[in-house]
Amino acid sequence: MHRLRACVSWQLMRMRVGSTATRSYSPLSCCWMEVTRRNFPSALLEISSLLPRSCLVSFDCEFTGLRGNDTREEWEDTPEERYSKLRDGCSEFCLIQYGICLFVKQENEYEVFPFNFYLFPCHSLGRRLDRCFRCQPSSLKLLSNSGLDFNKWIREGIPYMRETDELWWKRRRKEAEEPSDEELNQCLGFSRVFKIIADSNIPVVGHSVLLDLLHTYSHFIDDLPKVQIGT
């Protein structure tokens, strides 16, 4: 993920301030982990073990597009109109990558653990989850220039599903024969990472993250709420 890589590179160039009167400096320590279906179980275990020691989490997302031709932002937009346009974009485009950095404080420095997750929507539990999404050429070109492997995204992307879809499937299982818990857990995929971070109550930080937050809610929790415009 190009923005997260830049963030990590910037953090690596920063120096720590020593705890004594004389300042001592050393770069933050960091190791990168690219996560697909193949190594997702081990990444989930590592994040679960790191969270209790982490003091904050940063995140960044990449999408198949930012906004459609009919949802261009205008300078005269009201807050309600701007939100409505962003909401429409979140329902039309999907997540491609989700970057997470866990920061573990080590005396007078921070150890950073970055994870870059390839995500691909869950589609194996019926038509409810097999949703269509749009792609924006400029966004795909930018991601390609940044080194994103689209074959890896489709073939090895980690599935995810919203909390409302998970609850719907659990209700269905009580009424009829539906997928097993194992199949549901596989489809939950990255949603499990989202849940353990949310449950940890650790501060989450980011840069210019309004769109990232809206996509996170839209893809892991539920449809974004509508607003009344012009009232």
Residue 150 forms part of a structural domain: yes
Q: What is the CATH number of the domain that holds 117?
A: 3.30.420.10
pLDDT at 60 over 80: yes
> Distance (Å, rounded) from C-alpha 180 to C-alpha 190?
18
The pLDDT of residue 231: 54
pLDDT digits (tens, 9 = 90+) for 25-47: 344 445 578 999 999 999 999 99
Residue 27 forms part of a structural domain: yes
Phi/psi at 218 (nearest 5 deg)? -65, -35
- Counting the structural domains of the chain, the total is 1
pLDDT at 21 over 60: no
Residue 102 forms part of a structural domain: yes
The answer to whether the beta carbons of residues 168 and 176 sit under 8 Å apart is no
The pLDDT of residue 177: 61
pLDDT digits (tens, 9 = 90+) for 82-133: 899 899 889 899 999 999 999 999 888 889 999 999 999 877 666 666 778 8
Domain extent, residue 167, equals 2-218
> Distance (Å, rounded) from C-alpha 119 to C-alpha 189?
9
Tell me which residue of 67, 87, 65, 86 sits closest to 136, measured CA to CA.
65
